Structure 1
Amino acid sequence: MVRYTDIRASNTLINDSTAPRIAVFVGGTAGIGQLTIKALVATGASVRIYLIGRKSSNDRAHVFMKELQSTNPNAEVIWIEGEVSLLTDAKRVCEVIKSREKHVDLLFLTTGYAPFGPREETAEGIEITLSLGYFSRMMFVLQLLPLLRQAEAARVVSVLGGGLMERPTSIDLDDLALEKPGRFGPIKSQMLSATMNTATLDKLAADSPGVTFIHSYPGWVDTGNVRRGFEPNSWKAWVAWLFLEPLIYLFSFSDKESGQRHLFLSTSAYYGGRGVPWMGKAGVNTSGKPMNGLFLANYRNDCTLNAGVLSVLREKSTEMIWKHTQEVLQPYL
């Protein structure tokens, strides 16, 4: 068990030699991404952060960047506008980063929301929550993987549902786009995105031993994203504001604790042995070993295996998920 006191103690050891020097935050203009950036910048370390968000977040992002600059003059924050639910735009953003950097130390992914309305596709024909929760994330991973491999201790953190996997027997491998009648819904979309994140990151970790991969389940955090799943000003959005958001707030981690926990995920040698030194028992990867690979982190930052489901996932579904992923992403890679 990772105690919160140990997490905070670990984070106090972050400095210029242990901080991720080049970090890319996709979805960092609000919620967990923003909280983690604040925690990272507050360490005082010299970091360069690429903050990526939608055009509608532009004003809010620049206010946030001024706040970060006043907190830590050694931090450089670069804003890149991008509608990353579109794979063409995700690729464009990656090309900008690749033109400027020779390596990336941290790729932090938090885009997505739970859809409470009907199935909706992007202009590219991909269901929007699957694009944000999975396909766009994998686009960033695959595009930036060459730069991650050039770093001394690179890490990819995908915040969604680490350890929460749909049973392979319930996955319709012929309908990974959730197009069949009755197949789409908020739980189904989120669980499928989480399962595909785990399956693909598990595969990529095996092919990239020099990169640490973490799929995190953050628990309850009041990010405000629950309201995004409803049509603005609808009665459902009003109910979410009146009842669901106060309930989430009641059981959520505080903003500060969530930021500290995700900073720990982004920096600690507890995951894979590289990063801020960890003196206690190390976490184990999806192979059950205290070495680099993919780590499934629960809301307490502990590593979970879910070995039974994961072994069947590898055997029955991973290759089909990977094949489908390649088919969707190939036109944009």
Structure 2
Amino acid sequence: MVSFEEIKASNALIDDVTSPSVAVFVGGTSGVGKFTIKALVATGVRVRIYLVGRKGSKEPINAFTQELSTINPKAELIWTEGEVSLLAETKRICEFIKSRESHVNLLFLTAGYAPFGTRKETAEGLEIAGSLEYYSRMLFTLHLLPLLQDAEAPKVISVSAGGKEATTIDLDDIDLKRPGNFGGFKAQVQYATMNTTTLEKLADENPTVTFIHSFPGWVNTGNMRRGPDPNSITAWLLRLALEPLISPFCFSSEESGQRYLFQCTSSAFGGRGVSWKGEPGTNSLGKQADGLFLVNDKCECTLSAKVMPILREKAQGKIWDHTQEVLAPYL
């Protein structure tokens, strides 16, 4: 485990050279994304942050923006409104960012919620959690890759369940559309595994960009209270059962933010960023080199060594072909 003291010591070294000068946070209106933004701004660096969120988040974000400007007047927070469960909206937001920026150093993806309850689809025909946790994230990544490639120490971080992949992924019904095939835990594993296989492919093809798929551990983000049906009996029972159990083990908002700031800036992952004297991270191919890093809640790299070779052989190509088919109209 990378200790919290080691993480804070690393983060104390962040300056205008080693921090991202332009960052895009998708889903940063609450939870891990919001905690990380606050930690980044509190370093005092000069940074421009595009904060992407839904319309209903605007008023709370106004207060958050005022708080951040007091903490660090050099930080610029640009509220970017959009419903990113819709791929057409995701494309519009990407085009807006590309029209304003020549580079992006950090793409931080956290939009999503626990998909417990009945299956519900967007107007574009995708299951909502799947669109947020996979398709929209990949569309943001593909659109912004040229800007990331032109940046110093660029990183893409997808916060979901890195290291929790499974070979049981359903390749015959990737979007879990068949009657009775959708379920909360199955969907979470499906989307997490899809994230990892596609991010690994993108990492192989873009060696100048560091990719991280991470698992945040227990953090009180309010994630279980979001979604299209947060008041369903299933969602209510799960909150009642799980929230009291996980609360004693949760990272505080401060520690979560600092741990993700470390992932955003440390050269422990891919060798670019704040100098790191500890053990270098090992990528998903088992190498201390560029690539995709599967990072657990202790900020350690996991290889998923029993799972990844099977997924590369049997799943990665099918998932990529399916993803290209879904995203093609929005690229």
Classify the TM-score, shorter chain.
over 0.9
Q: Does residue 88 in structure 1 map to residue 91 in structure 2? A: no
Aligned pairs for 1:307-318 within 5 A: 307-318=305-316
Q: TM-score, normalised by structure 2?
A: 0.97
Q: TM-score, normalised by structure 1?
A: 0.97
- The residue aligned with 1:198 is 196
Shift of 1:237: 4.8
Shift of 1:181: 2.2
- The residue aligned with 2:67 is 67
User: Aligned equivalents of 1:278 and 1:109: distance in 2?
Assistant: 24
Q: SS state of the match for residue 306, structure 2?
A: helix
- The residue aligned with 2:297 is 299
Q: Does residue 39 in structure 1 map to residue 49 in structure 2? A: no
Q: Does residue 103 in structure 1 map to residue 126 in structure 2? A: no
User: Aligned equivalents of 2:105 and 2:227: distance in 1?
Assistant: 32
User: Aligned equivalents of 1:159 and 1:171: distance in 2?
Assistant: 19
Aligned residues: 331
Is contact 1:22–1:106 with CA below 8 Å preserved after alignment? yes
Q: SS state of the match for residue 308, structure 1?
A: coil
- The residue aligned with 1:286 is 284
Which amino acid is 1:171 matched to?
Answer: I
User: Aligned equivalents of 2:43 and 2:208: distance in 1?
Assistant: 25
- The residue aligned with 2:211 is 213
Q: Does residue 10 in structure 1 map to residue 10 in structure 2? A: yes
Q: 1:201 to 1:241 in 2, by over 3 A?
A: closer
Which amino acid is 1:3 matched to?
Answer: S
Question: What percentage of aligned pairs have identical amino acids?
Answer: 61
- The residue aligned with 2:174 is 176
2:324 aligned residue (323, 326, 331): 326
- The residue aligned with 1:185 is 183
Is contact 1:116–1:230 with CA below 8 Å preserved after alignment? no
Which amino acid is 1:56 matched to?
Answer: G
Q: SS state of the match for residue 49, structure 1?
A: strand
Which amino acid is 2:194 matched to?
Answer: M
User: Aligned equivalents of 2:328 and 2:224: distance in 1?
Assistant: 31
Which amino acid is 1:182 matched to?
Answer: G
- The residue aligned with 2:257 is 259
Q: SS state of the match for residue 307, structure 2?
A: helix
1:163-185 deviation digits (Å, cap 9, x = unpaired)? 11021xx2221200101122101
Q: SS state of the match for residue 172, structure 1?
A: coil
User: Aligned equivalents of 2:240 and 2:228: distance in 1?
Assistant: 13
User: Aligned equivalents of 1:217 and 1:101: distance in 2?
Assistant: 30
User: Aligned equivalents of 1:171 and 1:125: distance in 2?
Assistant: 21
- Structure 2 unaligned residues grouped into runs of 5+: none
- The residue aligned with 2:145 is 145
- Structure 1 unaligned residues grouped into runs of 5+: none
Misfit runs of 4+, over 3 Å: 232-243
1:246 aligned residue (227, 244, 261): 244
Q: 1:76 to 1:277 in 2, by over 3 A?
A: same
User: Aligned equivalents of 2:291 and 2:328: distance in 1?
Assistant: 25
- My pick for the range that moved more, 36-45 or 223-232, is 223-232
Q: SS state of the match for residue 287, structure 2?
A: coil
User: Aligned equivalents of 1:231 and 1:155: distance in 2?
Assistant: 33
Is contact 2:217–2:296 with CA below 8 Å preserved after alignment? yes
1:14-39 deviation digits (Å, cap 9, x = unpaired)? 11111000000000000000000000
CA RMSD of aligned residues (A): 1.2
